[in-house]
Structure 1
Amino acid sequence: MKFFITIVCGIVLSVLIPFAGMSQAVKSDNIIPETNMRGGKYPQILPNHHVVFRIKAPDAKKVQIDLGKKYDMVKEGDGTWTTTTDSISEGFHYYSLIVDGVTVADPASESFYGMSRMASGIEIPFAGGDYYALKNVPHGDIRIKNYYSTITKSWRKVFIYTPPGYDVNTAKKYPVLYILHGGGEDERGWAQQGKTDVILDNLIAQKKAKPMLIVMPDANIGGGGFGEDGLKAFANEMKQNIIPFIEKNYRTLNTSNNRALAGLSMGGINTLYTGVYNTNLFGYLGVFSSGWIAPSQKDLANAQYDYLQKNRAMVEKNLKLLWVSTGMKEDIAYNNCKTMLAKFDELKIKYTYSEYPGGHTWPVWRNNLYNFAPLLFK
């Protein structure tokens, strides 16, 4: 049994003992999430997608689970805290423990970088998740590379998906999708939470998508992707560093018709800024759960609408596809997206729109990639 001690500012909060290897039986119809640490019995998913959490923190005074909604845990006589959540929707969700007011990761689950910190994650399986299930098909690789940024004057990291067979046929060149994470995440998001490699492996095996490279950079630069400084900095990073690095070190087809740019949430705003102003570089754009934020980005939005009005013919000639998607009304970007699309309609900008049931969450964005990738490089 492993004991985990959480220490914040030098203060021992509690000994948190995950229920890995403990004797509690798992009911045959309960599910152990793939995100649990190896051998971990909790959390458990009930058939109705309610989730049971158990954690041992005998010295704690109050423990909660934060899964978007906070759930109070009940302490038992042996120092074990338990709770059962409401029904949780399909796919991947971040969650945290709150122990005596301090937010920490659950030692019983894998951790992921999200919400600008390491957080626990739980994977809720569902019948429609077959497209991101590991299967007996040829698999590509996720490669991690360091490159030097002339913008930040520092070394930065990029994740790169290479399709099956990339190292076999060394004469073949590939189109490239550059895909961006959301706010509070980094280059790991699409590779880990997004299951990009598995989604593309399955699509390629079914001949639904062309073999392609997928580049997953860190868009946190120049203050982030919400202010103009951050947007400009990332656009320059793409043009001056990321694209040249990829095209120097990988076998790529180096034309706009063989480059795509997409992103979720903050990454969608980066896509609007970098992509719309550079359709000579990107022939395909994907904007997932995004749109200019009102009212804080009003000036940025109006500047882009003015640009589109003056350059509509050129943009439409260059762009093969502008694909915009959101979750449903519970997606926090839904209204911003609809406002942007209304302006596109007014300007007669061509786009393709898609909705997928869900909020501002990874289940929606995985499905966005699944539906966007087959449309590329036709």
Structure 2
Amino acid sequence: MKKITLLILLSFLTIGFSLQAQIKDDFKPSTKNQPGQEYPQVNSQGYARFKIFAPAADSVRVSLGLGGRGGTKLEKTEDGYWMGTTEGPMDEGFHYYNVNIDGGKFNDPGAKNYYGSIRWESGIEIPAHDADFYALKNVPHGFVQQILFPSPSTNTSRRAFVYTPPGYEKGDKQYPVLYLQHGWGEDETAWSNQGHANLIMDNLIAEGKIDPFIIVMTYGMTNELKWGHLHEFKIEPFQTVLIDELIPYVDSHFRTKANSANRAMAGLSMGGFETRMVTMNRPDVFDYWGLLSGGVYKPEDIKTKSDVKSIFISTGSKERPVEVKAAVDALNEAGIKAIAYVSPDTAHEFLTWRRSLYQMAPLLFK
């Protein structure tokens, strides 16, 4: 019996050492780190490693599911730091996270912050094999500017960010407009900061893959509802802000082609839910519709086929690809032009949505 027990113990130790040995020691600082900060780090396999200074802490854990099973537990070192590596590789692309120290939620001082989960969260980037399409390159760049527009319906001024393509400021050309919505817990900064929408557009334009257009990003008024109560969301207040206040402001302050044929609406996750409701309520405003991990349309949702020129529906392969493909097939069979896109090896995360924008943009305004 002792011999069997010893053999089992040795087997577990061997497996443990084997798994540890398989993690390549080629860790480098994440591209989302604060200037000069070495941690967090990522390696070529997609593992993430964290180092937090908390000399008086009793426990430190990196939260939001990094590595699975409730997060990554860090171990204390002799110099007051806590270190740990995710149990497994993470999906490529951007991820939010926070640090739990003795039950309290904090941001990692080594990482930059991004607005998500209704707070400024730490961010980490796992290098993607196809990152070239959203990379910062030596090409002409557009501008992302903040605008404040009057909103009588909410009795305040509201904020939006507007991407104008390279050369906009020098000419008199008019442009189509995509109204692009963020997800729940995020705000109007998400598509530029986490999504790199401006870089995706710059690169597509430089490669001649799209005709330039404007992107408008505003807060979708979604975060007043707590997670688990999103079904209680009412679209009417945001729909009024978007259609009656923001769009007229954009059309009067930017050189837009101010008609439905040159106007699109799309959104990720909760922003897709908003897009679906607004486009169904007001199909006269937008000719191009996009749901990015944000549900599907059914043929019966479309009152008149002439209301929409094209529908784009996307998802990550770890989400609901079968549902998306079936929905698009049904739309096409009903004579409604629709395109499905499935992001490989991603879930409900920003690489899915970066790829979705990259695939959707060339299909707009054709």
Query: So what's the TM-score if we normalise by structure 1?
Result: 0.83
For the pair 1:273 / 2:277, whether they are aligned, the reply is yes
Letter of the 2:45 partner, please give it.
Answer: N
Give CA-to-partner distance per residue, 1:148-186, whole Å, 9 cap, x none.
2122212211011010011111x1111000000001101
CA contact (8 A) 1:222 1:233 kept: no
With over 3 angstroms needed to count, the CA separation of the structure-2 counterparts of 1:147 and 1:320, relative to structure 1, is same
CA contact (8 A) 2:178 2:214 kept: yes
Give CA-to-partner distance per residue, 1:69-116, whole Å, 9 cap, x none.
301100112211000112112111111101111111111100000011
> What's the offset of the Cα at 1:319?
1.3
Counterparts of 1:222 and 1:150 in 2: how far apart (Å)?
20
Counterparts of 2:238 and 2:207 in 1: how far apart (Å)?
34
* SS at 1:87 equivalent: coil
> What's the offset of the Cα at 1:205?
0.5
Give CA-to-partner distance per residue, 1:181-226, whole Å, 9 cap, x none.
0011010110110001100000000111111110001001595694
The count of aligned residue pairs is 334
Among 233, 237, 240, the alignment partner of 2:237 is 233
Q: Which region of structure 1 is more displaced relative to structure 2, 223-232 or 31-40? A: 223-232
With over 3 angstroms needed to count, the CA separation of the structure-2 counterparts of 1:29 and 1:306, relative to structure 1, is closer
Number of the residue aligned with 1:99: 101
Number of the residue aligned with 1:54: 51
> What's the offset of the Cα at 1:340?
5.5
Number of the residue aligned with 1:8: none
For the pair 1:324 / 2:313, whether they are aligned, the reply is yes
Counterparts of 1:127 and 1:121 in 2: how far apart (Å)?
19
CA contact (8 A) 2:115 2:121 kept: yes
* SS at 1:147 equivalent: strand
Greater C-alpha radius of gyration: 2
The gaps in structure 2 that reach 5 residues or longer are: 1-23
Letter of the 1:356 partner, please give it.
Answer: S
Counterparts of 2:85 and 2:118 in 1: how far apart (Å)?
26
Number of the residue aligned with 2:341: 354
With over 3 angstroms needed to count, the CA separation of the structure-2 counterparts of 1:184 and 1:84, relative to structure 1, is same
Number of the residue aligned with 2:21: none
Number of the residue aligned with 1:32: 29
Counterparts of 1:322 and 1:103 in 2: how far apart (Å)?
40
Number of the residue aligned with 2:256: 252
CA contact (8 A) 1:290 1:336 kept: no
CA contact (8 A) 2:162 2:214 kept: yes
Letter of the 1:173 partner, please give it.
Answer: Q
With over 3 angstroms needed to count, the CA separation of the structure-2 counterparts of 1:104 and 1:81, relative to structure 1, is same
Counterparts of 1:317 and 1:249 in 2: how far apart (Å)?
29
CA contact (8 A) 1:286 1:324 kept: yes
Counterparts of 1:288 and 1:105 in 2: how far apart (Å)?
28
Among 114, 123, 126, the alignment partner of 1:124 is 126
* SS at 1:167 equivalent: helix
With over 3 angstroms needed to count, the CA separation of the structure-2 counterparts of 1:346 and 1:373, relative to structure 1, is closer
Counterparts of 1:289 and 1:173 in 2: how far apart (Å)?
31
Counterparts of 2:274 and 2:161 in 1: how far apart (Å)?
18
Among 82, 90, 97, the alignment partner of 2:92 is 90
CA contact (8 A) 1:221 1:233 kept: no
Letter of the 1:249 partner, please give it.
Answer: H
Query: So what's the TM-score if we normalise by structure 2?
Result: 0.85
Number of the residue aligned with 1:216: 217
Letter of the 2:191 partner, please give it.
Answer: W
RMSD of the TM alignment (CA)? 2.3
Give CA-to-partner distance per residue, 1:3-25, whole Å, 9 cap, x none.
xxxxxxxxxxxxxxxxxxxxxxx
Q: Which region of structure 1 is more displaced relative to structure 2, 67-76 or 345-354? A: 345-354
Number of the residue aligned with 1:75: 76
Q: Which region of structure 1 is more displaced relative to structure 2, 240-249 or 145-154? A: 145-154
CA contact (8 A) 2:288 2:310 kept: yes
With over 3 angstroms needed to count, the CA separation of the structure-2 counterparts of 1:106 and 1:222, relative to structure 1, is closer
> What's the offset of the Cα at 1:338?
6.6
With over 3 angstroms needed to count, the CA separation of the structure-2 counterparts of 1:138 and 1:342, relative to structure 1, is closer
Q: Which region of structure 1 is more displaced relative to structure 2, 145-154 or 186-195? A: 145-154
Counterparts of 2:237 and 2:231 in 1: how far apart (Å)?
10
The gaps in structure 1 that reach 5 residues or longer are: 1-26, 293-300
Work out the percentage of aligned pairs sharing the same amino acid. Answer: 39
With over 3 angstroms needed to count, the CA separation of the structure-2 counterparts of 1:84 and 1:28, relative to structure 1, is closer
For the pair 1:364 / 2:347, whether they are aligned, the reply is no
CA contact (8 A) 2:325 2:340 kept: no
Among 151, 154, 158, the alignment partner of 2:153 is 151
Number of the residue aligned with 2:11: none
